[in-house]
Amino acid sequence: MDLLRSFWKKKLFSFFLGFLAFTAAFISVHFFSIAHPYLLADNRHYTFYLWRKIIKAHWSMKYLLVPLYVYSWFSIIHRLGKYQRKIWILIYILATAAVLVPAPLIEFRYYTIPFFFLMLHSHVDSYLSLLLLGILYTVLNVFTMCMFLYRPFHWDHEPGVQRFIW
């Protein structure tokens, strides 16, 4: 909500910045949404289903996700802007982009270091926020362990039991 208020205060600049961000996001999604062969071939990973069931469910789906991407960008920048200098935010964005952009696979582990830096440098000091984050991590990890332990499957071309993993 705080993000929306700050956008409303600077209407013209916010409109230009939003237009620029949406344009960059649409161009990026259109030209650089590349599916790595391993992403498409291995159904033991969350990212396989994320790509197949959500992003590639319909040709327009990747474009419909652009507002979520742009909102995420602005939320991160706004959150960091409360506690960090602009040069620090710029270096954070460039370093994160240097790690994520050339990676052809969508792997959650690639996002862990940038996420930890975001959490550490945005001064999340609300006990409720930390509790919700802890609960989210716990639920996600319990779900993953249950999938691994109780949902094995078999491949015709691979001997043995296959298990669902990150």
pLDDT, tens digit, 9 for 90 and up, residues 82-99: 999 999 999 999 999 998
pLDDT, tens digit, 9 for 90 and up, residues 97-148: 998 887 877 788 889 999 999 999 998 888 998 999 999 999 999 999 999 9
Q: What is the 3-state secondary structure (H, E, C) of the chain?
A: CHHHHHHHHCHHHHHHHHHHHHHHHHHHHHHHCCCCHHHHHCCCEHHHHHHHHHHCCCCCHHHHCHHHHHHHHHHHHHHHHCCCCHHHHHHHHHHHHHHHCCCCCCCCHHHHHHHHHHHHHCCCCCHHHHHHHHHHHHHHHHHHHHHHHHCCEEECCEEEEECCEC
**Average pLDDT of every residue of the chain:** 87
* Residue 2 confidence (pLDDT) above 70: no
pLDDT value, residue 40: 81
